Structure 1
């Protein structure tokens, strides 16, 4: 197969299976070996965690760029286009480069298939290989690699990073890497490598011994938030460790924690950057689909929170905004069918006007997929565009409209907003 367009590559990817019969790294390693093991030819930082890994990855990428490093970034999911998954110095991979790299990966797969006709990659493996080949071709100094799911068995776990980061550990994807916190911690600890430091965010007490035991076994230095580096909240938000004291602009607390993790990891790389430059890099970072404000009055916030931990943090931030504004809070959301809907919907209170919607996407929940009590309690509008327009028009100056539950929904609405801005609507 020879790809001639980016859309052909994307169509091919989406036609691939999601899982192998066995959850190991043997498939991806066969292809990487034929390609010269590109994952070993660029310095990397590996980022995992139930929440915050995407934000942390964006913050760290900006810090590396500020330090003059040519920086690759591999993240998921995307908000606007597939090309966001693979970035170089903050710019998405071009369609031309995507086609070029995909053809090289396809040739490597064909080489394996000549010996093993049934061989193939699943979609995420293919994406990971694309990223590493691209980063090497572009001669990246560093690449920030966000885990897909878990850690030990994740398809990104073919690297020996300069630093690993575990942002948080909570319940999500339990059907794949759970179902308990301890099992999830065991899986995420797989990113810890021999004598390579690991940066830890707030880790639950029941999970911490698992992480620290793995670090000790690997002789990996541990840097813990609240112990080796800290955040001070108040009128000024300060990050401090033995390298930097950095003043951060106010943002939701979980975002400040993600920024702190990125700064700590960056500090361990010993690249020349002053505390002022560190602050500038963090404060200038825009993370697509994360606490993204598209209008101030009424306040319209888009956030892709899709599990209990993320939704709790998001609601805490938005409810404080509601208190300050003394307005009403409206929430438009959909979720993927495989998420913990019962627990997420239990977080909403009686005063919040929640409306359900859906997307033209296979995994997106339709009305019948929501729990029975949720269907009875909240209105359902299958047309997400109409639902968004109606809720926005109903919102007064001091009100808040929150769009959440899925990055796919957030991405669709951001594209809709961009289109409207372009047409003057």
Structure 2
């Protein structure tokens, strides 16, 4: 197969199988080896966690760029366009580069299929291979690599990073890496590598023995939030460790944890960067689909929170802001069928005006997928565009309109707003 345009590459990616018979790394390692093991040619930072790994990855990427490093970033999911998955110095991979790299991967696959005609990569493996090939070819100084799911068996876990990061451990993807919190922690601890430091974020106390045991086995030093470095503040974020005292613009408290972890991981790389430059790098970081502000009056916030931990943190922040603004909270909510639909809705306040919607996507929950008590309590609007426009119209200057529950809905809203802007 030979690709001539990016749309063909993306279409091909989504036609690939989603899972192998064996949940191991033999398939991806076989392809990477044939391509010269590009993942070993670039210094990496490996980021896992139930929540906060995307934000932490973006903060780290900006810190590295500020320090003059040619910086790769691999993240998922994408919000606005597929090319967000693979970035260089904050810029999405170009269509032409995506095509070129995909053809290199295809060439390797063709060679393998001479001996093994049925050999194939799953979608995520293909994306990971493409990212490593790209980062090696453009000669990145560092690449920040966000895991897909878990750690030990994640397809990104083919690297020996300079630093490993575990941001949080909570319940999500329990059917794949759980079902218990301890099993999830065990899977995530798989990113810890021999004699490479690990930075730990806001982790539950009960999982610490598992993480610490893995670090001991690997002779990996640990830096812990709340022990080796600290963060505080409900509006402004304050960070401190043995060397630094820093302050950052207004952010939700949970973002403070991600900022702190990113700074601590960055400090372990021993790259020169003054305190004011660190503050600038963090303050200038925009994370797509995470506490993303579209406008201020009314305050419209997009956030792809899709599990209990993330939703709880998000709603705490939204309700604090509503109290300060003396406004009403309106929420447009879409979720995937395989999420904890029941539990999430117990987090809303009685005064929240919640509306359910869906998008044209196979996993998206429709009206029949929500618990009976939820659809009896909250209106359901099949057409997300109509629902969003109506809620926006009803919102006064001091109100808050939150779009949440899925990055897919957030992406649709961003496209809608972008098209509206272009038409005006």
The TM-score by the shorter chain falls in which range?
Answer: over 0.9
Stretch moving more, 152-161 or 115-124: 115-124
- Counterpart CA distance in 2 for 1:51 and 1:243 is 27
Pair 173,234 (structure 1): closer, same or farther in 2 beyond 3 Å: closer
Which aligned pairs between 1:210-221 and structure 2 lie closer than 5 A?
210-221=210-221
* Equivalence for 2:104: 104
Long gaps (5+) in structure 1? none
- Counterpart CA distance in 2 for 1:247 and 1:374 is 41
**TM-score (ref. length: structure 2):** 0.99
- Counterpart CA distance in 1 for 2:114 and 2:234 is 63
* Equivalence for 1:416: 416
- Counterpart CA distance in 2 for 1:271 and 1:241 is 16
Q: Does 1:259 align with 2:259?
A: yes
- Counterpart CA distance in 1 for 2:243 and 2:184 is 32
Structure 1 counterpart SS, 2:358: coil
- Counterpart CA distance in 2 for 1:32 and 1:228 is 37
Which aligned pairs between 1:56-95 and structure 2 lie closer than 5 A?
56-95=56-95
CA contact (8 A) 2:152 2:189 kept: yes
Residue 295 of structure 1 and its aligned partner are, at CA, apart by: 1.3
Structure 2 counterpart SS, 1:46: strand
For the aligned residue pairs, the C-alpha RMSD in angstroms reads 0.9
Q: Does 1:5 align with 2:2?
A: no
* Equivalence for 1:376: 376
* Equivalence for 2:316: 316
* Equivalence for 2:390: 390
CA displacement, residues 205-242 of structure 1 (integer Å, 9 cap, x when unaligned): 11111001100110100000010001132675321112
Structure 1 counterpart SS, 2:223: strand
Long gaps (5+) in structure 2? none
Q: Does 1:248 align with 2:271?
A: no
CA contact (8 A) 2:165 2:200 kept: yes
CA displacement, residues 130-183 of structure 1 (integer Å, 9 cap, x when unaligned): 000000110000000000000000000000000000000000000000000000
CA displacement, residues 94-151 of structure 1 (integer Å, 9 cap, x when unaligned): 0000000000001111111111111110000000000000001100000000000000
CA contact (8 A) 2:235 2:253 kept: no
- Counterpart CA distance in 1 for 2:53 and 2:267 is 18
**TM-score (ref. length: structure 1):** 0.98
Q: Does 1:190 align with 2:183?
A: no
- Counterpart CA distance in 1 for 2:236 and 2:63 is 21
Residue 349 of structure 1 and its aligned partner are, at CA, apart by: 2.2
Structure 2 counterpart SS, 1:289: coil
Residue 296 of structure 1 and its aligned partner are, at CA, apart by: 0.9
Which aligned pairs between 1:131-142 and structure 2 lie closer than 5 A?
131-142=131-142
CA displacement, residues 284-311 of structure 1 (integer Å, 9 cap, x when unaligned): 1000111111111111111110100000
Residue 50 of structure 1 and its aligned partner are, at CA, apart by: 0.2
Stretch moving more, 244-253 or 143-152: 244-253
- Counterpart CA distance in 1 for 2:30 and 2:291 is 40
Structure 2 counterpart SS, 1:206: helix
* Equivalence for 1:239: 239
CA contact (8 A) 1:354 1:379 kept: yes
* Equivalence for 1:284: 284
- Counterpart CA distance in 1 for 2:369 and 2:106 is 37
